[in-house]
Structure 1
């Protein structure tokens, strides 16, 4: 499919229509990979991705978005999920693409799930942060998404911000504010890196591995939404600091081996 760029009233009008539309996943998404490993059920209101020795699987949204509060409820792979990666992300197309990533890295039973986030802007990424989730994401559905405006991006888990990436174009840092992005998810074998740097491999006797999805939602935002604000209110800021202090295990801003001088955006977004 070609890239679509929605600007001005076209963006707002389209997103308003989407907000009022049904969240039936079989209408919002199409299968991108291994249709026999993707299951729509409950009248299309829920779907599942599966991974086994034959294949992983994936889906993508039929629509693209420029700004918005975009989220999905996900129940992650239960049990011994070591080596599996459940990716949920927004992305545009092409070599200079923009992308906002959640990657849920599987674990041995009883160990906490790791969430890796990343931001690509104009093809430049390498902005990984990792946290432990403070709950068991396999027992029930939880909401994961982004609040994306022209000024800032908040990565959200339920009502808790786990990361903020602000617009620092004035400092020469690319920011995703021109390319509309689709919503994607996939479940795949990442055991060469996902769990303890690839030391723990997938136990295929536990297959099939299954991730479940429901309640996709998009709330519209215009280019001026959040203009003149930091993007995080005082209560959200407290929650964000709580996450950083208690659950963050990696932040590219603090990786002096990779970045002897912290990237410009790290001065405020750390």
Structure 2
């Protein structure tokens, strides 16, 4: 089975007009759904992979520019890919199409970081703090 989901920061519009911001230090997040209905196909079925079948099912289509933006976002922020986790899954799973993107992942499935990722502000120690008395 394969499911693709995107989480958008709704801080500016979903929380009383931006009154409450998302605090990412509490991640990972859990989402619960009631009466969730998903339409899908078994992995490896060519008829389900064709864009025409998605359009016929009423699924919205992405423009080429939207797809490029999504792929750039994934490349920058994805930290793990189970399709590339050779320690846990020695043989590729049926829904995984492992291609050139595999070079961006370690055998553990963790993304190879091209540069250190820093989030938030960096704080300097205060002068005259507890360490300065030593």
Assess same fold via TM > 0.5: no
The structure whose residues are more often strand, as a share, is: 1
Question: Bigger radius of gyration, 1 or 2?
Answer: 2
Indicate the structure whose relative CO is greater, using CA pairs within 8 Å and at least 6 residues apart. 1
Task: Give the TM-score normalised by structure 1.
Answer: 0.21
The structure whose residues are more often helix, as a share, is: 2
